[in-house]
Structure 1
Amino acid sequence: MSNVEPLRSEVRDGMRIDWDVPIVMDDGLVLRADVFRPEAPGRYPVVLTCGPYAKGLSFQEGYPSAWNGMVLEFPEVGAGSTNKYQSWEVVDPEKWVPDGYACVRVDSRGCGRSPGFVDHFSARETQDFFLAIEWAGVQPWSNGKVGLNGISYYGMNQWQVASLQPPHLAAMCIWEGASDWYRDATHHGGILSTMWANWYDMQVKTVQHGLGERGPRSKVHGDTVCGPDTLSDAQLQANRSQFGDDILGHPLDDAWHRERSAVWERIRVPFLSAANWGGQGLHTRGNFEAIARAASSEKWLEAHGLAHWTHFYTDYGVQLQKRFFDHYLKGEANGWRERPKVQLQVRHVDRFVERQEHEWPLARTRWTRYYLHFGDHSLRTEPPAAPATVDYEALGDGLTFMSLPLAHDTEITGPSAARLRLSSSTADADVFLVLRVFTSDLREITFQGALDPHTPVGQGWLRASHRKLDPRFSQPYRPYHPHDALEPLEPGQPVDLDVEVLPTSIVVPAGYRIALSVRGKDYEWQASTGLKLSNLKNELKGCGPFLHNDPRDRPAEIYGGRNTLHCDPADPPFILLPVIPD
């Protein structure tokens, strides 16, 4: 453990800032926090984050492509702040402290200025978060009400710590935070996501505690971002889990995954859950699932588009967050509880239109089946009349079924589900579904997603050996698979697959077409784009970093060969779409 340096406190830019405040854990380890609070003495509500990205690393230095793109498109993000205290995926204290909030940033165990062993989303890390909340709730500058707010990782771990019910936790804003470690994050439909192993290299190892002089220095106070000690590579490796291998080693939804997931019946704190329509792979499903399953009686849903950090920092997002926290942390009677439970940025091909709703999925949804017709690869509302089969390369681009031009503008907003009958020449098969929109001249319409600028309208995945359904949680529009055992295929024998397609929103103009692709690999908008983000390894081709291409998880001898789709007119294949009437 690093030595505990004395607390440093100073006044800068209208704030009292306490740097590297020690928070002692129940095992004696000391986490480090920065506290930004009003100059005037008093007790203030707390907005707290705890995570691995190093509190002293500036957004601009750590994630330059994301920062530069955001402020170029939305200058309001940088306005009204020196931006010296901007950090990745947490609030800007210069925009919160003047409104009477204390902002606390805690480096999680093993990261940034906090020593220890890195083990993401583990019970140990969640207990640390619990203790940090309880510490903040009893400080002399705290009013005893702690709110949690942050993007992605800083949202995901809120679900876990809320399951422990910290007494001083008063409210949460989870901005694009996955809640089910298996289904939302590591295994989509049972298929391994390679994102996490790459993320670990790019965003955690680069700020691990112990990099010391080998790591960055704070642009504000000059100290090393990753602690005072400089460790060897061997020492650093010994202080962290083998995260990618750990995930690979748990291919089913077992106790390891459940330790890192929400316990819905224990989450009772008020919350605002903000999802991204284009966040397939991490930033969509969990926020919608929370609305359906968390025990909280006071819960609100917001859904938006654009890059997943953008609206957290725009005036739109900040004002929404403050109104929520003003009520629950300050006790202001600002009408929050009377507002509709759902706020949607409904997506059009060229804009977003804000709309208030009262439930999710929308009660007025017209659940509409679009059937797959194999003969002409069409997608129609009338079922096929004759038996048929069609096959495709099991690891290839698959097949696309397309509707006729729509007669009128059609809104699709909500979750979807597909029913397929499939056989394979091998003992298993991976199905990748892509919901797509095409113009009248057959150009595909894609959108700026949470990370990728050419994200399709919707995606879903399922490994055929994981096809078993859990009737406790399955809905016609959201099949739920337990992922607790394998049911291998008999080559050539068809089985029924119910595939979850994640929630989406799109108003498809008249004359456009909708389509469903059934693929054997990840969607690609085009073979090469030349587009990258500074914090990602891979080129952005349509799925961002959320790829499923690890050959250890998808060996060709099991997932290669040929897949065949079967049509029985008594139970034909379809996708169930949430059509919203005018």
Structure 2
Amino acid sequence: MDALKSEIRDGMHIDWDMPIVMDDGLVLRADIFRPTRAGKFPVILSYGPYGKGLAFQEGYKTAWEIMERENPDVIRGSSNKYQNWEVVDPEKWVPDDYVCIRIDSRGAGRSPGFMDHNNARETQDIHLCIEWAAKQKWSNGRVGMNGISYYGSNQWRAAASKPKHLAAICVWEGWNDNYRESSRHGGIACSFRKNWMEMQVKTVQHGVGDRGKKSAVTGETVCGPETLPEAELRKNVDDVWKRVMDNEMIGDWYEERTANLDKVDIPVLSAANWGGQGLHTRGNFEGFVRSKSKNKWLEVHGGSHWAPFYTDYGVALQKKFFDFYLKGKKNGWNKTPPVSLLVRSPGEKFTLRNENEWPLKRTQWTPLYLDPNQKTFSQLPLKQEAKIQYDMMGNGVTFAFPPQTQEVELTGPMALKLFISSSTVDADIFAIVRVFDPKGKEVLFHGALDPKTPIAQGWLRASHRKLDKKKSLPYRPWHSHDEKQPLTPGEIYELDVEIWPTCIVVPKGYSIALSIRGRDYEHDDAAAVLSNMKHPMKGCGPFTHDDEQDRPPAIFGGKVTLHMGPKHQARLLVPVIPKKK
């Protein structure tokens, strides 16, 4: 298949299905949007599996409709004909003298091959695509990567592979640790991986051909010119869920798909979402803190997973960053504060505040001791031994402060120390930090995908309690996941649960609570539905942990006892932020 065609339309020179030959001879296909005038321009490159010819409006209908309704600035200034899920709109970039390249990943869309997500072959493909783009006659030799989620997470690995011409990356809500952030939370398998393959990936696999969608712009089949038999399609894709099920502990498969942040040393803009509990949030914070880049910035916002990227706010931020590093424009970006937070309050209210580091240096790390007598917190260690039991498959137990007598801000990661015994050989801990209004109703917050979520979550399988002492921090325990340590029923074990970073200003009269349970959190409101998600969402979005192969009821359906007191000081460590003086 030769390049479909080149044409000028909507003020852009567009090359459809441009071939890019890999080192093993396989030909990937790219759509290239560039200025119509002659010249050399910086490149914004994205590589992923969602079908470059599939319109956002068609492939992700409800997400588009919500964005169109709630963020009208996204729609303005564009015909929106070239909108794709989670990548830049070329109509908003090409007029500012950028070349936008969208590449269908190996085995996806119009690129043939075996589909194996996030592996070393994919990283090598991206590396080669970057170097190819840098050498084209219309390129100034400076390539940046930009995009959300999949198009963000693969940037960490691409940067670690050190392509000569990759000048900067903007990772917008992108994980980097395949095990801890994507596949197994605290060792517990996240069912998102299974449903994601069925809903978002196999539907645009190369070879679906005539059975799939057609591009609204070109009229060509989104999933390649050929239509392959179902049996061949199945042979052409790795079974990700089987890999997750077959590999409970960290090994080569996960490590190959995890970025080595020690090798990321180019300029980085890491944009996180407070509401991304369950997939990307941790990766953006860890990527910012642990990458070796001397020039790196952290931006944290709220709202949906997709909309902020496309808003005037998001586009202006991205362009200022890339203008500085890809065009050499002296726009003052280098004087931008390292950390920019949209501080969250109930009612989806956000206040922009600049900071110098993460976690914040002025954080008052405050232990809240679990008191089972009143199911509350004590700011002093308990003096008497006590315990409380719950059914793993029930609602667990909730500890709550009385209503706040003054406003308090919690911004940062949290850590929960527990002492438990189980009636079986294991136990899964789900830790949920919550906020209640003065009338006792839970205040829910807009998550990245689920519009109603609690403020923070953490997970740990008790048999995965082993810590890496060198990597662990008081506020962020690091589990090695390299050795399974089953429990002896009735014996007491110490657990350290990582709770992902969050931000909330708790008003006077509101209360802070912690729920500990043995299954996913669910709120009492109506479930939310997105067309690209398999199941209605009840508080955790699609990031649930409900596979019975991973969580057999005989083991994870028993009883857990929480132990507290002088010898078992169970506590939640919270990041209290004093006001700036």
Please give the alpha-carbon distance, in whole angstroms, between the structure 2 residues aligned to 1:49 and 1:414: 30
Q: Does 2:256 match 1:254?
A: no
Q: Does 2:57 match 1:60?
A: yes
Which residues in structure 2 correspond to 1:5-84 (within 5 Å)? 5-84=2-81
Deviations 1:323-357 (A, max 9, x none): 00000000111111111100000000020000000
User: Shift of residue 7 of structure 1?
Assistant: 4.8
Deviations 1:471-527 (A, max 9, x none): 11110000000101101111100110000000000000001100000010000012x
What SS does the corresponding residue of 2:130 show, helix, strand or coil? helix
User: Shift of residue 5 of structure 1?
Assistant: 1.7
Please give the alpha-carbon distance, in whole angstroms, between the structure 1 residues aligned to 2:280 and 2:444: 17
User: Shift of residue 244 of structure 1?
Assistant: 1.1
Deviations 1:69-120 (A, max 9, x none): 0010110000000000000000000000000100000000000000001000
Deviations 1:136-164 (A, max 9, x none): 11110000000000000000111111111
Q: Does 2:542 match 1:549?
A: no
Question: In the alignment, what sits opposite 1:435?
Answer: 433
Q: Does 2:140 match 1:109?
A: no
Residues 415 and 477, structure 1, Cα contact 8 Å, conserved in 2: yes
User: Shift of residue 279 of structure 1?
Assistant: 0.5
Question: In the alignment, what sits opposite 1:402?
Answer: 400
> 2:358 corresponds to which letter in structure 1?
W
Residues 3 and 16, structure 2, Cα contact 8 Å, conserved in 1: no
Question: In the alignment, what sits opposite 2:421?
Answer: 423
Question: In the alignment, what sits opposite 1:497?
Answer: 495
Q: Does 2:275 match 1:278?
A: yes
Please give the alpha-carbon distance, in whole angstroms, between the structure 1 residues aligned to 2:332 and 2:380: 46
> 2:233 corresponds to which letter in structure 1?
L
Normalising by structure 2, what TM-score?
Answer: 0.99
Please give the alpha-carbon distance, in whole angstroms, between the structure 1 residues aligned to 2:210 and 2:478: 48
Question: In the alignment, what sits opposite 1:510?
Answer: 508
Residues 529 and 539, structure 1, Cα contact 8 Å, conserved in 2: no
> 1:407 corresponds to which letter in structure 2?
T
User: Shift of residue 176 of structure 1?
Assistant: 0.4
> 2:107 corresponds to which letter in structure 1?
G
Question: In the alignment, what sits opposite 1:134?
Answer: 131
> 2:238 corresponds to which letter in structure 1?
S
Question: In the alignment, what sits opposite 2:326?
Answer: 329
What SS does the corresponding residue of 2:280 show, helix, strand or coil? coil
Question: In the alignment, what sits opposite 2:195?
Answer: 198
Please give the alpha-carbon distance, in whole angstroms, between the structure 1 residues aligned to 2:38 and 2:355: 41
Question: In the alignment, what sits opposite 1:214?
Answer: 211
Which residues in structure 2 correspond to 1:219-230 (within 5 Å)? 219-230=216-227
Residues 175 and 181, structure 2, Cα contact 8 Å, conserved in 1: yes
Aligned length: 578
Question: In the alignment, what sits opposite 2:120?
Answer: 123
> 1:176 corresponds to which letter in structure 2?
E
Question: In the alignment, what sits opposite 1:445?
Answer: 443
2:562 to 562, 565, 568: 565
Residues 283 and 308, structure 1, Cα contact 8 Å, conserved in 2: no
What SS does the corresponding residue of 1:42 show, helix, strand or coil? coil
Which runs of no fewer than 5 residues in structure 2 stay unpaired? none
Deviations 1:450-480 (A, max 9, x none): 0001110000000001101101111000000
Question: In the alignment, what sits opposite 2:301?
Answer: 304
What SS does the corresponding residue of 2:421 show, helix, strand or coil? strand
Please give the alpha-carbon distance, in whole angstroms, between the structure 1 residues aligned to 2:298 and 2:147: 15
User: Shift of residue 249 of structure 1?
Assistant: 1.2
Deviations 1:414-468 (A, max 9, x none): 0000100001011000000000000111100011100001110000000001101
Question: In the alignment, what sits opposite 2:236?
Answer: 239
Please give the alpha-carbon distance, in whole angstroms, between the structure 2 residues aligned to 1:113 and 1:208: 8
Please give the alpha-carbon distance, in whole angstroms, between the structure 1 residues aligned to 2:357 and 2:418: 29
Please give the alpha-carbon distance, in whole angstroms, between the structure 2 residues aligned to 1:449 and 1:557: 32
Normalising by structure 1, what TM-score?
Answer: 0.98
Question: In the alignment, what sits opposite 1:313?
Answer: 310
What SS does the corresponding residue of 1:311 show, helix, strand or coil? helix
> 1:69 corresponds to which letter in structure 2?
I
> 2:36 corresponds to which letter in structure 1?
E
Please give the alpha-carbon distance, in whole angstroms, between the structure 2 residues aligned to 1:284 and 1:6: 38
RMSD: 0.9
What SS does the corresponding residue of 1:177 show, helix, strand or coil? coil
1:150 to 132, 140, 147: 147
1:165 to 162, 165, 170: 162
> 1:539 corresponds to which letter in structure 2?
P
Which residues in structure 2 correspond to 1:465-476 (within 5 Å)? 465-476=463-474
Residues 145 and 168, structure 2, Cα contact 8 Å, conserved in 1: yes
User: Shift of residue 400 of structure 1?
Assistant: 0.1
Please give the alpha-carbon distance, in whole angstroms, between the structure 2 residues aligned to 1:319 and 1:455: 28
Question: In the alignment, what sits opposite 1:525?
Answer: 523
User: Shift of residue 380 of structure 1?
Assistant: 2.6
User: Shift of residue 570 of structure 1?
Assistant: 4.3
Question: In the alignment, what sits opposite 2:339?
Answer: 342
Q: Which runs of 4+ in 1 moved over 4 A?
A: none
Deviations 1:539-575 (A, max 9, x none): 1100010000000001112222110000132441110
Percent identity between the two aligned chains: 57
Q: Does 2:558 match 1:538?
A: no
Residues 157 and 260, structure 2, Cα contact 8 Å, conserved in 1: yes
Residues 385 and 567, structure 2, Cα contact 8 Å, conserved in 1: no
Which runs of no fewer than 5 residues in structure 1 stay unpaired? none
Please give the alpha-carbon distance, in whole angstroms, between the structure 1 residues aligned to 2:133 and 2:172: 21
What SS does the corresponding residue of 2:199 show, helix, strand or coil? helix
Please give the alpha-carbon distance, in whole angstroms, between the structure 2 residues aligned to 1:231 and 1:255: 31
Please give the alpha-carbon distance, in whole angstroms, between the structure 1 residues aligned to 2:204 and 2:297: 34
Please give the alpha-carbon distance, in whole angstroms, between the structure 1 residues aligned to 2:219 and 2:288: 43
Residues 76 and 314, structure 1, Cα contact 8 Å, conserved in 2: yes
What SS does the corresponding residue of 2:193 show, helix, strand or coil? helix
